[in-house]
Amino acid sequence: MDLHNLQIDARFSLILEVFVATIFKSSNENSNQKSVRRILVAGGAGFLGSHLCERLLNEGHSVICVDNFSTGRMENLHQLLSSDTFSFVRHDIIEPLDLPVDEIYNLACPASPPHYQADPVHTMKTNVIGSLNLLELASRYQARIFQASTSEVYGDPHVHPQPESYWGNVNSFGPRSCYDEGKRSAETLFYDFHKQHGVDIRIVRIFNTYGPRMRPDDGRVVSNFIVQALKGEDITVYGDGSQTRSFCYVDDLIEGFHRLMYCPQAIHTPVNIGNPGEFTVGALAEQIIDMTGSRSKIVHHSLPVDDPRQRRPDITAAKQELGWEPTIALADGLKSTIAYFEGQLTKPTGKLAEAA
């Protein structure tokens, strides 16, 4: 039996639960590989989620990708669908689900401002109700659960670089608050499920990440600049370009996920994962113009409301507890990312529309 491309809604969730439970029960009875885990990746069709699914499959695990395609793309899963240990379920985690699993990764939420601001109520529901549903699933099956939180919980920081102990400077009543406060609320739920129900949690705070499989319309600074440069369009820099960001290549981030999830000593407090190398947005634009050989010009627009002026992670905890730090230089990561977008932009119009 094959779960590939299975689509469900709440009416059919019970059928799915019985179906998947039967498959995995049979699989476990016939398998001598006790180290193989059944892993659910919520948001697995997205930029980060698809890279994570690929890593887990390469390690020999059974992976269930759950995604509602709000920003995820089937194209990101094409190379995974041929695996006998990969399954896809179309489902929105704001609706309950019951799948027997050993581990859960919660990456389900749009991460770029244009996407999470398009439906702020649903963004908040995804972060709060979705997290609650996955935590209850983890509690039911005694599964370890991983939460992809964000550096946005620090808001426009008054402390630089940002350690995990910093409480942040977040506007709870602004256009970004559905995401910032949603992720902060999710962290609280994870902490309380651990304290009250003994759920084994892992929480990562992700700083700006880039790489292949970002959407051309992603709306984040790296993808925006690369797409504009490749099209020969003006590159839009918000503000004067002096605001800073720290850019982590996706492979480094996924390695950080892996080390946190499987750290021999359980870590139940948030851990920053990001690249402490700090660049101005203006310098990034110049570098991308140079690397693409573009004739694009830089134009300046007004800075968005609550846009952070500085962002750089303090990764002391990741170094000491996980032995992790990024290894991929910005120039090398940009080279791979530019090549990916070149391929995206040269697709026939219909293909690109389907991929997006």
Domain containing residue 24: CATH number? 3.40.50.720
In a domain, 314, yes or no: yes
Domain span holding position 103: 6-210+248-276+307-327
How many Cα atoms are found within 13 Å in the side-chain-facing hemisphere of 236? 13
SS3 99: coil
Q: Where are the alpha helices (DSSP H) in the chain?
A: 13-29, 47-58, 113-118, 120-125, 131-141, 177-197, 221-231, 250-261, 281-292, 316-317, 330-345, 349-355
Q: Of residues 179, 191, 249, 340, which has the active-site annotation?
A: 179
Q: What are the residues facing 203 on neighbouring strands?
A: 147
262: annotated active-site residue? no
In a domain, 283, yes or no: no
131 within 8 A of 183, measured Cβ to Cβ: no
In a domain, 36, yes or no: yes
3-state helix, strand, coil in the chain (%, to 5): 45, 15, 40
Count of domains for the chain: 1
Phi, psi of 38, deg, nearest 5: -95, 115
In a domain, 198, yes or no: yes
In a domain, 30, yes or no: yes
Cα distance between residue 231 and residue 228, in whole Å: 5
In a domain, 121, yes or no: yes
In a domain, 340, yes or no: no
Chain centre distance of CA 228: 23
Contacts of 256 (CB under 8 A, 6+ apart): 204, 273, 318, 322, 324
pLDDT in single tens digits along all 356 residues of the chain: 344 444 444 434 434 543 454 444 444 444 434 478 999 999 999 999 999 999 999 999 999 999 999 999 999 999 999 999 999 999 999 999 999 999 999 999 999 899 999 999 999 999 999 999 999 999 999 999 999 999 999 999 999 999 999 999 999 999 999 999 999 999 999 999 999 999 999 999 999 999 999 999 999 999 999 999 999 999 999 999 999 999 999 999 999 999 999 999 999 999 999 999 999 999 999 999 999 999 999 999 998 888 889 999 999 999 999 999 999 999 999 999 999 999 999 877 544 444 44
For residue 93 the two structure tokens come to 């985690």
The label of the residue with tokens 């992790």 reads 324
Burial of 204 (0-12, 13-18, 19+ CB in 10 A): buried
In a domain, 223, yes or no: no
Burial of 159 (0-12, 13-18, 19+ CB in 10 A): middle
